[in-house]
Amino acid sequence: MDTPATSRDADLLAPLTPPQREAVTHVDGPLLILAGPGSGKTRVVTHRIAYLLRRGIPARSIVALTFTNKAADEMKSRLASLAPQQSVWMGTFHRFCARLLRQYASLVGLAENYSIYDVADSREILKAAIEEEGIELTHVTPESIAHAISWAKNSLIGPDDYVPSRGRQIGGIVERVYPKYQKRLLAANAVDFDDLLMHVAALLKENPELRQQLDEKYRYILVDEYQDTNLAQYAIVRALSIDHPNLAVTGDPDQSIYGWRGANLSNILEFEKDFPNVKVVRLEQNYRSTKSILRIADELIEHNVRRKKKHLFTDNPEGDPVRLYAYPSQRDEAEHIAMMIAEAIRSGRRRPRDFAVFYRINALSRQFEQALREHVIPYQIVNGLEFYQRKEIKDVLAYLHLINNPRSEAAFLRIVNTPPRGIGKSTISRLQAHAAQHGVSLVDAARQAGIVPDINKKSAIAVARFVAMFDRVCLVAHAPVEEIVGTVLAESGYREVLENSEDEEDQERLANVEELLTDAREFDMRHPGDGQLEQFLEETALVADTDAWETESDKVSLMTMHAAKGLEFPIVFIVACEQGLLPHERSMQDEEKVEEERRLLFVGITRAQQELQLSYAQYRMFRGVLAPAIPSPFLMELPRQEMELSDSATARRTTPDWEESQLASGEEEKGDTSFDVAAFDDDYSQESPEPRRKKKAVTKVTGVVTAAELLAEQENGVKRTPPGMFKHGMHVTHPQYGAGQIVALSGEGPKRRASVRFGDGSERKFVLIHADLRPAGE
C-alpha cells in the first residue's frame, strides 16, 4: 500500500515543514504525533487523510475520532477543500459509539431504539435508584455517587465488578446503587454518556468475530486529542487496531485537561510501549503566538513533573510583553478590560471578534457580560443554558423520546404531568411501584391505571387521558420530525399553555419551541425520507455547549479555559487568576490535580496570538460573599521580570511586590485594598480621578494608622457602635468615605468584619471594633 510520494503530491506537501511532511506521508503502522499548541496539527491530520485517499485507500476505511463536534466540523471543512467529494467518517467518540451501538444493541441487552440520557436524565434515574435502595444521604451527594459511577464506567468496571476501596463511606453506597442504576437504565432501554463507550468496549471484547470484522472495516483510524482519552476509549481504539495497526494519534500531554473525566495521561505517555514500531513525530514549531507569549507558556509548564519534555519555538515576532494586572475588585477587573476592548474597537485597530476572555468557572462570566453590555460591545458566551438544556426544549424532546422509546423512564416522568394535567406526585409514585412490581414500563403501568391500587378515580381518568393523548401522537412516529414536533405541541397542550400565559418568560419559551420546529425542519431537509426520529434524537443528545460557539460572528468571546481548547484569538484576557479558582480549591490538595490546573492555564495562554493579559482581583464576591483573594501561585512561576505589571510602584520597591500584595490581601486591618492604582491613572481612573487618588493616599496612611487611630479613639473616648448592631444591608456612614451599605458580614466578636459598598462603587472591608462606622442617620 505504501507507495512513495510523487510529484503529483507536490501541492499537498509543499506548504509543509519537514516534520509535518513526515507525519503526513506516513501511511501504514502506528503513528504518534506529539503536537505542541499552534503547531498546525489539524492541518497535518487533514493533509494526511487527503494523502491516504490519494494512495487509493477507500474513504470508508478511514475514521477520524475527535473529542468535540466542533473539532470534527473543523476537520470536515478543511478536508472538503483538500479532497472534495470524499466522505470520510469524522466525529466524536460518543457519536461513533452511538452509531455502532445502534447496530449491535442486542448484544449488550439493549434494543436498537435505545435512548441516550443526558446528565440531567441520568441524575433522575440515579436518584430513583438511591431511593429504591432506601439510602439516606448524609455525607455523600448524588453528585459524588454519579461521579464514582462515571469513573467506574470509564475504567470499564461494570456494575457487578465494582469493588469499593476500603475506608471510604461512599464506596459501599456506590456498590449498592450502581447495579440498581444500571438495571434501571437497561429496563428503560437507555444509556448514559459513559455507557456509549463502555458498551462498545464490552461488545468488542466479548465478540471476537465482530471485533475482527470491524478492525477490517476501519483500517485507518485517527484519534485527535489522544491525551484526553480514557481507558474505555483506549480499549475501543486498541481493539480496532490489532490486525490493522494503522492507528495515528495526535496529542499533547501538556494539554491534557480532562483527568476529572477519566482521561488517562498514560495513554499517550505510553503509546510507544503499547504499539511496537511506532513512528513518532514531534511538532514543536509554533505558528500562532508571539515569542513573549510562548516563553510565558513554556516557563509555566516547565513546573510540571509528569510530562514529556519539549521545546516550543517560533519564528513569529517578539510582540508586546504579557501583562499581569492586579485589580482592587472584580468589578474593576471587568470594567477595565471592557474599556480596553471598547477603546481598541473604537479606534479601529481591532474588531470584537479579536478578543476573548477566559475564566476557570462559568460563574465568573457575569461581571464581564455586564461590563461589555454597558460598553455596548457585542459578545457571545460559550456555555450558559445551552439550547437543548432549556426546560421547554427538554420537555418537548421528552415527548419525542417517549414516542421513540416508550420504555424510557426519564422521558415519562418528565412529561406525564407537563403541562399540568392533574397527575400528582402520589399518583406517579404509585405507578412507579406498580411498574416495578410487575416488570412493566411506566407507560404500560399508566395504561392499567384503573386497576392500580390506591389510585383514585379522578386521577385514573387523568392518567387515561394522558395515555390516549400519547397514543395519538404516536400515530405520527414515522412522519418527518417537524410534523412530529408539531403534533406534540398541539396534542399535548404545550403550545396552548405557553400561548395563553401572561408570563413574559413563557413567550420566550414559545419562541424557543418555535426554534425547535425550525431545527426539525432543517433536519428533515438534510435527511429526506420518513422515520428519522431516532437519528434526530441522537443528534440533539450529543451536541455540547461549545458547539454553539459561532466562529464567524463578530463578537467578543467569553468562555471557560476548557472550552477554549482548540481555539485561537489575537487578544486573550485570562481573568480571576486566584488561589481557589485557579487552581480550583478542589484540586489544591493533590499535586497531580494541580498539574492539571497548570496545564489548563497553559492551554489558556497558548490560545493567544498577539496579546495576552493575566489578571486577578484583590477582593472577589463569590457565592454572595466578598472575600479577599490571593493571587494564583501559578503567577509566581512566570518570568515576571519580562512581563508588564500593573503595579507601577514595583520598580521603586526593594522587596518583591508579590509577597507584599499577598500580605495586603490578607490584612484587613488596613481597612483598604492597599492597591496601587497608579498604573491605571492614564486611562482607567479618569472617569473619577478624585476618589482614586484619595484612595491611594489613604492606603499609605491607614496601614500605619490603625493602631494610632485606636489609641486616639481611646483617648478621646469616642464611642463605637457595638459590632452586634450591624446588619446585612444596613446603611452606614464612614467619616472618610461617606455613605454606604453593608454588603457582607463575617467573623465573630472582636474579629467581626463588614464589607461596605460606598457611593462611588468601591467596596471596603472594616474590622468593626476599629472602624468608625455608624448606622446612617445617627
* Active site positions, annotated: 41-42, 224-225, 255, 607
Kindly tell me which of 92 and 699 has the beta carbon lying closer to DNA: 92
Interaction with DNA in 611-640: which residues (CB under 7 A)? Answer: 621, 623-624
457 lines the binding site for DNA (CB under 7 A): no
- The reply to whether omega before 583 is within 30° of 0 (cis) is yes
Residue 729 sits in the site that holds DNA (CB under 7 A): no
DSSP string, 738-773: EEEEEEEEE--GGG-EEEEEETTS-EEEEETTTS--
Residue 72 CB, shortest distance to DNA, in Å, is 9
Instruction: State in angstroms the smallest separation of the CB of 260 from DNA.
Output: 4
Work out how close the CB of 46 gets to DNA at its nearest, in angstroms, rounded to a whole number.
20
Closest by CA position to 703, among listed 661, 743, 747, 761: 661
From 115, 227, 367, 427, residue interacting with DNA (rule: CB under 7 A): 427
| Least spacing, CB of residue 261 vs DNA, in Å | 5
In this structure, the strands spanning 285-286 and 115-116 are unpaired
Return the number of other C-beta atoms located less than 10 Å from residue 549's C-beta: 19
Position 76 contacts DNA (CB under 7 A): no
Residues in binding contact with DNA, number by CB under 7 A: 43
Cell, residue 703: 496601614
What does the DSSP 8-state code read for residue 554? -
DSSP 164: P
The only residue of 587, 632, 674, 699 in contact with DNA, by rule CB under 7 A: 587
State yes or no: residue 383 binds DNA (CB under 7 A). yes
For the chain, the residue count is: 778
Looking at 89, 151, 260, 287, which residue binds DNA (CB under 7 A)?
Answer: 260
Residue 620 corresponds to which amino acid?
Answer: R
Scanning residues 166 to 195, which ones bind DNA (CB under 7 A)?
A: 193-194
Contacts of 435 (CB under 8 A, 6+ apart): 441, 442, 444, 445
Q: Which stretch binds DNA (CB under 7 A): 422-430, 439-447, 638-646, 651-659?
A: 422-430
The nearest distance, CB 381 to DNA, in angstroms, is 11
Site for DNA in 401-420 (CB under 7 A): 417, 420
- State yes or no: residue 227 binds DNA (CB under 7 A): no
Which of the ranges 210-218, 510-518, 584-592, 679-687 carries the binding residues for DNA, by CB under 7 A? 584-592
- Cα 112 from Cα 110, distance rounded (Å): 6
**By the rule CB under 7 A, 362 interacts with DNA:** yes
Residue 350 CB, shortest distance to DNA, in Å, is: 26
The one among 10, 242, 280, 363 contacting DNA by CB under 7 A:
363
User: Which of 418/733 has CB closer to DNA?
Assistant: 418
Q: Residues 526, 586, 694, 751: which binds DNA (CB under 7 A)?
A: 586
Own/partner long-range contacts of 132-135 (Cβ < 8 Å, ≥24 apart): 132/180, 132/436, 133/176, 133/177, 133/180, 135/173, 135/176, 135/177
CA atoms lying within 13 Å on the CB side of residue 572: 29
Do the Cβ atoms of 23 and 31 come closer than 8 Å? yes
Phi and psi torsions of 551, nearest 5°: -65, -35
Rounded CA-CA distance 143/123 in Å is 8
Nearer to DNA, 422 or 738 (CB): 422
Residues 6+ apart with CB under 8 A from 157: none
CA angle 273, 235, 170 (to 5 degrees): 110
Name which of 286, 211, 282 is nearest 606 in CA terms: 286
Complex with DNA: residue 275 or 388, whichever CB lies closer: 388
Q: Is 425 in the site for DNA (CB under 7 A)?
A: yes
Using CB under 7 A, which residues numbered 124 to 163 contact DNA?
A: 141, 143
Q: Which of these segments, 481-489, 559-567, 669-677, 750-758, binds DNA (CB under 7 A)?
A: 559-567
CA-CA distance, 486 to 472, in Å (whole number)?
Answer: 13
Q: Report the SS3 class of residue 263.
A: strand
What whole-number distance in Å separates Cα of residue 60 and Cα of residue 87? 7
Measure the CA–CA gap between 324 and 593, rounded to whole angstroms: 24
Looking at beta carbons only, is 291 or 447 nearer to DNA?
A: 447
CB of 267 to DNA, least distance (A): 16
Nearest distance from C-beta of residue 417 to DNA, angstroms: 5
Closer of 136 and 715 to DNA (Cβ): 136
Among 414, 562, 670, 753, binds DNA (CB under 7 A): 562
Instruction: Closer to DNA by CB, 141 or 518: give it.
Output: 141
CB of 276 to DNA, least distance (A): 31
93 contributes a contact to DNA by CB under 7 A: yes
The amino acid that residue 50 corresponds to is A
Rounded least distance, CB 422 to DNA, Å: 4
- Please report whether residue 68 would count as binding DNA according to CB under 7 A: yes
Distance CA 352, CA 558 (A): 11
Locus of grid cell 437543548: 388
Work out whether 261 is an interface residue with DNA (CB under 7 A): yes
Q: What residues between 102 and 121 interact with DNA by CB under 7 A? A: 119
Between 545 and 647, CB nearer to DNA: 545
Helix boundaries (H) for 14-139: 18-24, 41-54, 69-82, 93-104, 119-132
- 761: which 3 cell numbers? 462603587
- Helix ranges (H only) for 532-589 are 533-541, 561-564
Question: Which residues sit at the interface with DNA, rule CB under 7 A?
Answer: 67-69, 92-95, 119, 141, 143, 193-194, 260-261, 361-363, 366, 383, 417, 420-427, 459, 542, 544-547, 560, 562-563, 584, 586-587, 621, 623-624
